[in-house]
Amino acid sequence: MKHIFLKLVIAIFSLITVSFALLIPIVTSPKTFFEFPIIPTLEEKARNIFFHVPMAWISVIAFFTSVFYSIKYLIKKDEVDDIKSSSAANLGFIFCVLATITGAIWARFNWGEFWNWDPRQTSIFILLLIYGAYFVLRSAIDEDEKRAKISAVYSIISGLTVPFFVFVMPRIMTGLHPGSLGDASGKGPLFEAKAMATNMRIIFYLSVLSFTMIYFWILNLKARVEVLYMKNFENKN
């Protein structure tokens, strides 16, 4: 096992962050660092921020890692990069589904319906569609090199459209998420708005960081397995 120290740090770090996110009490008038202020209409549900937002964040990050390795593949034509790109997409799809489900549950209790076609919900849905189209394309081509090349180009092209709906659309369309048009509290996402206290914001960033590290760890595992799989398959032929 390589980098065992780093992996231990990731595990302990995320354990501490998650326990902070779950255990710090929410009170009306916080006095110390270890007390969250109450956010009206959210209350205890405010803790969802620490779990739901990282999932959505990772599904975007995973998509961009896939795009990154696609570009690297087109430059160097190394099969390993193609494998990394497809593994990132594979893992990103899982996190995208998780973000959609957790978001739908949260929406049921805050906005009344599981699905409201809010701009951000729309964009996560489109991200799911892109991942789906990417996998369909990969399964439609038989030759390895051709598949790698064409799916790399497709992932780059769809990657270029991602900023349009992840960042632009929610600010133009009216929506329910904080930060979208028609929301009085602020122009940015929730963690930029005044609604979130400093200590909450710190825990939020830490939780995003720890989930991102977990994501890269799993991605590393997945890519290594896939590389082994490919080599094994080549030896058999």
Partner 1 sequence: MYYFFTQNQIYIVATIVLICLIGIFLYLFNLDKKISKLEKK
Partner 2 sequence: MSFVFYVFKKDFHSELRNRYSINSLLMFVMITISIVLFGIVSETSDSLVLSGVLWIVIFFSSMTGLSRSFVNEEEKGTTLFLQLNSKPLHVFLGKFLLNILLMLFINCVTILLYFFFVSDFQVKNFSIFFLTLFLGTFSISLSSTFIASIVAKANTKGALFPILSFPILIPIFISVISATKISVEGKSFSFASSDFQILISYILVIFSASILFFDFIWKE
Number of residues that bind partner 1 (CB under 8 A): 29
How many other CB atoms are there within 10 angstroms of residue 61's CB atom?
20
Note whether 168 binds partner 2 by CB under 8 A.
yes
In the list partner 1, partner 2, none, the entry touching 47 (Cβ below 5 to 8 angstroms by class) is partner 1
Residue 52 vs 84, nearer CB to partner 1: 52
Place of tokens 């969250």: 36
Contact 189, 179 (CB under 8 A): yes
Note whether 202 binds partner 1 by CB under 8 A.
no
Note whether 20 binds partner 1 by CB under 8 A.
no
Residue 27 vs 228, nearer CB to partner 1: 228
Q: Is the dihedral of CA 212, 130, 81, 139 positive or negative?
A: positive
Note whether 45 binds partner 1 by CB under 8 A.
yes
* Residues β-bridged to residue 174: 181
Task: Report the alpha-carbon distance of residue 224 to residue 230 in Å, rounded.
Answer: 10
Note whether 129 binds partner 2 by CB under 8 A.
yes
Contacts of 36 (CB under 8 A, 6+ apart): 24, 25, 26, 27, 30, 46, 197, 199, 200
- Residues 122-141 touching partner 1, rule: CB under 8 A, are none
Binding site for partner 1 (CB under 8 A): 18, 22, 43-45, 47-48, 51-52, 55, 91, 94-95, 97-98, 101-102, 105-106, 109, 214, 218, 221-222, 225, 228-229, 232, 236
